[in-house]
Chain A
Amino acid sequence: MAIEVRIPTILRTYTDGEKAVSADGASLSALIDDLEAHHPGIKDRLVETKDADKGPELRRFVNVYLNDEDVRFIGGLTAELKDGDQVVVLPAVAGGAETRQRIR
């Protein structure tokens, strides 16, 4: 099984500069674990555990798309993957004058 994962500029330090890498996993969660096995450190940039009961979640300001669809609409980390799927990671483009702590 091979799934192409497109890596944004800011995370290419984890992939030796590669724009796209291949990874395996039956779910997005498993895919991210497989990415981490080959590109240590990348998982922490994609997921976080804010609430121990809920477990890991995608980071608020990282967008992951499965075949052009934002995975938040199709199950998030539990989204199922199949051979030939394409996953795209894009950092959110966001900010603003607000100074209240809203980032994490």
Chain B
Amino acid sequence: MLTIEQATYDAIVAHAKRDHPDEACGIVAGPEGSDRPERHVEMVNAAGSPTFYEFDSTDLFALYKEMDDRDEEPVVVYHSHTATEAYPSRTDIGLAQEPHAHYVLVSTREHGNNDGPVEFRSYRILDGEVTEEEVTVVDRLDPVRSA
């Protein structure tokens, strides 16, 4: 199950709507091993395409360096589909290389840049196997329990 804050959810949806008809992409980082999507980072789609996304290689390096410095990992990796359903394509499955990530797909096919509901779904993608999971949107993530 993916548990995500309303504000982060809204920011991802807003990003997808803004970039429509191109695919939008980004991550939500969180402390390593925590499964807490805490820090939303919008990425530029270097492919600038309605059917493909790719993080720019220099941006990717900077992002991972920053996460490394902060002991974070990509808890969520998201992108949008702009003309098809929010389900991983063969390309998405073949290129999924973050085994710990929740892969979030947002579809803007219905309302494009305009207001209106979107499909927002989450998956685990491991060794070519897709498993959909429940998305729970909360006002705030539970406070971190201190030891």
Q: Count A-B contacts at CB 8 Å.
A: 93
The segment out of A23-31, A48-56, A74-82, A95-103 that lies at the interface is A95-103
Determine the chain B residues whose CB is within 8 A of the CB of A8 once the complex forms. Answer: 97
- Spot the interface stretch: B49-57, B111-119, B130-138: B49-57
A71 and chain B: residue at smallest CB distance: B57
Determine if A90 is an interface residue (Cβ-Cβ < 8 Å).
yes
CB distance from A13 to the nearest CB of B (A): 9
Count, chain A residues at interface, CB 8 A: 22
**B141 in the interface, Cβ–Cβ < 8 Å?**
no
Chain A residue with Cβ nearest B23: A96
Nearest A residue to B79 by beta-carbon distance?
A: A95
B interface, by DSSP: helix, strand, loop or mixed? mixed
Chain A minimum-CB-distance residue to B100: A9
Assess whether A65 is in contact with B55, with CB atoms less than 8 Å apart: no
Q: A96-B51, A96-B53 are in contact. Are A68 and B61 (CB under 8 A)?
A: yes
Given known A63-B60, A88-B61, A92-B55, contact A103–B95 (CB-CB < 8 A): yes
- Tell me the complex Cα distance, A65–B63, Å: 13
A residues near B (Cβ < 8 Å) are 8-10, 61, 63, 65, 68, 70, 72, 88, 90-99, 102-103
Binding site for A on B (CB under 8 A): 23, 25, 27, 43, 47, 49-55, 57-58, 60-61, 64-65, 73-74, 77, 79, 81-84, 88-92, 94-100
Q: How far is the CA of A30 from the CA of B89 in the complex (A)?
A: 36
Question: Which of A90, A97, A99, A103 lies in contact with B60, CB distance below 8 A?
Answer: A90
Report the bound CA distance from A19 to B57 in whole Å: 20
8 A-B pairs in the complex with CB atoms less than 8 angstroms apart: A9-B98, A70-B58, A70-B61, A93-B97, A96-B53, A96-B79, A97-B23, A98-B89
